[in-house]
Structure 1
Amino acid sequence: MAQNQVSGMETSAISVLKRAVELDQAGRFQESLVCYQEGIQLLLDALKAVKEESKKGHYRDKIKGYMDRAEQIKVHVNQMKEEGKYHEQIRISEDATGYSYEALFKAYISSVLTEVWVEDPYIRHTHQLYNFVRFCEMLLKAPCKVKMIHLLTSQDEADSSQQSSALAELKESLSDQGVTLDLQYSSTIHDREIRFDNGWIIKIGRGLDYFKRPKGRFSVGYCDYDLRHCQETTVDIFHTKHTKAL
């Protein structure tokens, strides 16, 4: 493997591991664990490619240090989950970017995830319906086998036909992917909450609608939500061993 390729892997690893340490120090342990694992894998790939023994030793020392910290975090997170005390908070600042659904939910999606509950009163207007489609697409691309998505929302009194037809179309499209959309309406729903059957509960102050409107259809961020500016909101993450009982 060419030296510049090894250098590229090392640069990527440094970037990911720097982010892991920042998240670790901020108490965002589940997210930091994902970054540690990605960074460690990049260092392992680089280790396989280098020839110099001195550099191999350097990589091994770094890998061991990060693996030890990742294991400590894993033990801590598992203990907190067992005790029902796990809580992380993410504050998304005004105009922040980098908070697509993939980026926000990645750390909490595991291979055992099969069922998702979304309670959000504002899946009504066109851009909110598109948000929910994006959320469903994120689940379909994730390393899990979601079979059921439950949506509890409120009806759009001004134009219920658009909302109904859009969700009916999405339901049929998800069915083609082997996923059932269970749709229910409530006139009293207020809170916003997303629950995964692997135990994670994510509460977002603004629900799925925390993105700002892009300047135009051909503006950066219109298609890629990682590049879209956000509205200020708070995300609270909890874990329970009995999600379905909630």
Structure 2
Amino acid sequence: MAEDSGIDKAAASLLHRAVEFDHKKRYTEALVLYLEALNILMQNIKEINNAEKKRYVRSKIETYMDRAETLKTHIQTEKTKGTFHEKIEIANNSTGHSYSSVFGRFLDNEVVAIDIEDPYIRAYHQVQNFLCACELFVKNCKNLKCISLLTTEDGNNDQKEWLEKIALDLVTKFNIQLLVQYSSTLHDRQIRLSNGWVIKIGRGLDYFKARESKFSLGTHDLDLRLCHETVVDVYYMKCN
């Protein structure tokens, strides 16, 4: 039903993806796409003069608005019960899985602290991955005050130097503290947000494949980068 040629092409594309995620029970992703598509349709309907076409588009708006409201209620109910769980499977060599796409929708102005446990923020490309995540945190979380990182120690001075440079930039430009601790036994990988969301990525932040060259597409836009196979589990834990 989302492929209907009677509505705006951009909205139809968004709705097609929304329905796909909806069927896969990836409800938070589906909700974001439904709302984006509805916003486009609400703008477009103002410019439609044909009465029949306007009735048709309005019926589509009502249908998808009802579904979006249903998803909102379902997500909120599961959060309240403490049973929310969303699973995202990232296939080998797939694209479209930047940090923004995977967990950006959970980053909002309610987030004041972020705790990251990831044993592999050690090599240069892994620290660069962490830097990309920090950039997203800064953009999406306007009230963010502190990022805590627990990782393993690489045994060379470069790792600490790189992280210290990120910490200096965060505190100088954005008044955000970066606190780094090291553990020799750390295995689990998770991102805890102070708004209650918990994102557990099987491979941690290091699920992107190496770029083919310094000039390959995907060097800067991680949605274009090939990925390793991994699973992302999203939970909600009520804040005390």
Interval containing the TM-score (normalised by the shorter chain): over 0.9
Aligned position for 2:96? 98
State how far apart, in whole Å, the 2-side matches of 1:105 and 1:208 are. Answer: 11
Aligned position for 2:167? 171
Once the 2 structures are TM-superposed, how far is the Cα of residue 143 of structure 1 from its aligned partner?
5.7
Matched, 1:225 2:222: yes
Aligned position for 2:120? 122
Q: Tell me, yes or no, if the aligned pair for 1:93 and 1:232 is still in contact at 8 Å.
A: yes
- Could you give the per-residue CA deviations for residues 141-193 of structure 1, whole angstroms, max 9, x where no partner exists? 22643221111111102x2x101111110001011212111111111111000
Aligned position for 2:15? 17
State how far apart, in whole Å, the 1-side matches of 2:104 and 2:78 are. Answer: 20
Aligned position for 1:56? 54
Q: Secondary structure at the match of 2:46?
A: helix
State how far apart, in whole Å, the 1-side matches of 2:223 and 2:68 are. Answer: 26
Once the 2 structures are TM-superposed, how far is the Cα of residue 27 of structure 1 from its aligned partner?
0.4
- Could you give the per-residue CA deviations for residues 174-220 of structure 1, whole angstroms, max 9, x where no partner exists? 11212111111111111000011111101001000000001110111
Aligned position for 2:72? 74
When residues 144 and 25 of structure 1 are mapped into structure 2, their CA distance, relative to the original with a 3 A threshold, is farther
Once the 2 structures are TM-superposed, how far is the Cα of residue 82 of structure 1 from its aligned partner?
0.8
Q: Tell me, yes or no, if the aligned pair for 2:117 and 2:190 is still in contact at 8 Å.
A: yes
Q: Tell me, yes or no, if the aligned pair for 2:109 and 2:144 is still in contact at 8 Å.
A: no
Once the 2 structures are TM-superposed, how far is the Cα of residue 107 of structure 1 from its aligned partner?
2.5
Aligned position for 2:145? 147
Structural mapping, 1:136-215, within 5 Å: 136-142=134-140, 144-157=142-155, 159=156, 161-175=157-171, 176-215=173-212
State how far apart, in whole Å, the 1-side matches of 2:135 and 2:37 are. Answer: 26
Amino acid at match of 2:161: S
Q: Tell me, yes or no, if the aligned pair for 1:77 and 1:86 is still in contact at 8 Å.
A: yes
The TM-score normalised by the length of structure 1 is 0.91
Once the 2 structures are TM-superposed, how far is the Cα of residue 58 of structure 1 from its aligned partner?
1.5
State how far apart, in whole Å, the 1-side matches of 2:109 and 2:12 are. Answer: 27
Amino acid at match of 1:96: S
Aligned position for 2:42? 44
Moved more, 14-23 or 104-113: 104-113
Percent identity over paired residues: 43
Aligned position for 1:131? 129
Unaligned runs of 5+ in 2: none
- Could you give the per-residue CA deviations for residues 4-49 of structure 1, whole angstroms, max 9, x where no partner exists? xxx9x81110001111111111001111111111110011111122
Matched positions, count: 234
Unaligned runs of 5+ in 1: 1-6
State how far apart, in whole Å, the 1-side matches of 2:37 and 2:142 are. Answer: 22
The alignment yields a C-alpha RMSD, in angstroms, of: 1.4
Once the 2 structures are TM-superposed, how far is the Cα of residue 106 of structure 1 from its aligned partner?
2.2
Q: Tell me, yes or no, if the aligned pair for 2:110 and 2:141 is still in contact at 8 Å.
A: no
